[in-house]
Structure 1
């Protein structure tokens, strides 16, 4: 077998030699640095076998670098990444695939499935002649790049209350413009308060989470918290009871009535049956207390719900109270801490889209 002729780089000038040396020391791109080393070694008179032995590269690679430098100079040292093979599936077809993936099989007359798997979707695309062939992995990448992901379906519930808008704006008007003749209070129940380890978050060493016991018996019953949020001061008032019947709620209303004598109370509540009990409504009418009922499935309009969420997060999550007295003390400590920093409640959902649904009914009339 004939030996291949030796190949050397062309004669280098002093300036080119210094530039090559600088590239071999400082180049951040490893490909450019490797090519510069090949050229410099060849310029020093080392043969192709010597270079391949030192760099653990192939003869063809070394010869190719040398020939390229002799033809194009230093431009041959910069790697020119090609785009590879042109995509077989066009961008328009990819968008069509993502559009089909967002449908359901039943929309295409396929009654055997309620949702697509990658396999059934690929088969469907081939049968519809969207593509001639496609693998599941390629399909997965197309969907990912197209912003289509595998998600759990969720449900939503709209209010069945025919007076939803009117009731909603009645509540929002009380929030935005508290009446001069009284005080607006948001009331609700929080619970049930079980004695159980509650998951939460805390700072811990990495991979060493805090662990709580598992419970199999909860034989100390439950408690219920009845609370009210005074919008004028931002403070919370509450009672913890063993039950949450109309009697407990009425007793709590009487407590609120004694706290603010001489003022009309506008108490915003949901449609829980104890709130609508005839005894409760009769007492409220006689003692200058107006019960403002939220629309059906509209408990999220009650300002106290966000306070309950904060109470659960800061006072209960991550705890494992063994007695109700211990748990009640924790709740009381949080409420005292919060009330010491409370400020008047203003601007309820001021930027929410719910305010674009209509205008105040009373104003419009």
Structure 2
């Protein structure tokens, strides 16, 4: 008869880490369920009972246990972010922004300013990414979107970091608002406009690119924070 699949004997450090993850279950669902599987197995529960406990397939439970027995706590790190794979590169984003801030006539287009429909005169659907701010969900906005064949793509609740434009807000704050003391709101607005014009004229400048990379890293780090929790420490 085949030996039942079970987790090997846990070290004190492994046991403490798994209990910590389970207690902070809302911090990272990616590692929370595997941690529950491992603790349940260490407590003597067999695979069928374990699978029922965490509402998972028995094959998944076996795979998690085997992976833990091979590489310890490193099995809790999937090595990838959730959601769909990224389709736009940083260069693609820069190209879109540079095009949007250049007058159409300079690019040989037969109109004087950009609009959503002018950018896609073939009538193809256009998708706009935005968060769940109440101003974005009103009847007027939805009516306009329907009339212009625009699909409003809302980010999940408390996940505005999923909008790629967020990476450009950090450098804007850094270059115009940090440690500033503008005389008035119009003066602050003028500073923002000057910064945007300078950024659009120097999209490949090393300082601009470094600031954007730093902001992207900061935004992506927020993906592990849920329900008031703190990001999990990297697995040793």
Tell me the TM-score range normalised by the shorter chain: 0.3 to 0.5
Higher relative contact order (CA 8 A, sep 6+): 2
Higher relative helix content = 2
TM-score, scaled relative to structure 2: 0.42
TM-score, scaled relative to structure 1: 0.29
